[in-house]
Structure 1
């Protein structure tokens, strides 16, 4: 079936300089039927084009989501041990007072690259989703950064704890002031840990390990 541009459907049959026929006449009915057929063909074309564009837009969004997931994995893999800067690198920074982006992130670059790949009719809808997508990704990345930080603090505390227990074991058993200083120093560091669950577990283990200064004998 030949493709009928939309403007044909809108025009239907021009009546300006065209010879008109009475509606009840065979020719009039035929012309009316022809106009209705043109409208039906054009409507079919419009619906088909709309389905095609929404399909292509969905594919583009899926590709964008895949790039975002890949980028997040790469940012996490390349982040420092304590996770510093992980969130801002990926999703930038937004002023909470007005919602304006004050520091773009990799998300902004990927979004801007994805927009031209969508059908033009889908641009506005995709653009309206930008900050919603940023907010969801921002929460996801903040959680990953916090998890990285928690792992870092626990690993660093474990190093300090091991070194402190060795120092206690090698110290003079009668030197209680040194023992107490090391013990308190450990408690002070534990108190600065951000994760409350890890902090409580570390403190309980540390107090147990240093409950008796003579354990080093």
Structure 2
């Protein structure tokens, strides 16, 4: 597959992942699927905006760049038609790095949140983190320590797990584009430069 075509496929895949990450992060502001009584009831890691910023906003820029590479009609430079295309592929490596860092940030935040567990009401209505080192993941009997909000544990666990998986996929896709961009930079793309009237591969 042409490097530009491959980049377009990766960009198309990244867009829905970014949108879903944003939605998952927004839903985390409603512990247990209900409106939080106050900001103190929201788990701290939600405020790190891993899904909104890391896998969301920061991922949109690389995705748009990847999408545009297929239709890039760079006319080249210094008499070399493939020069502009190669530079575009090189720039995609930089954007892939930005996307990888954003996805990595979301991945780390989500992993920490899953291991730490949600903030919830314990005895006497006190807000605390009753779990440590992910011990609640294998022992559902410990979930009784959380007296409220109702269903906050499965809610947070599900959404942070979704963010963890999607950010992991995004990181892999950005890594693939970094390699693809390097190949496109060194070898050029197999599509021709439309604005230059070329009919052959670059």
TM-score by length of structure 2 reads 0.33
Specify the structure having the higher radius of gyration (Cα): 1
The structure whose RCO (Cα within 8 Å, separation 6+) is larger is 2
Q: TM-score, normalised by structure 1?
A: 0.31
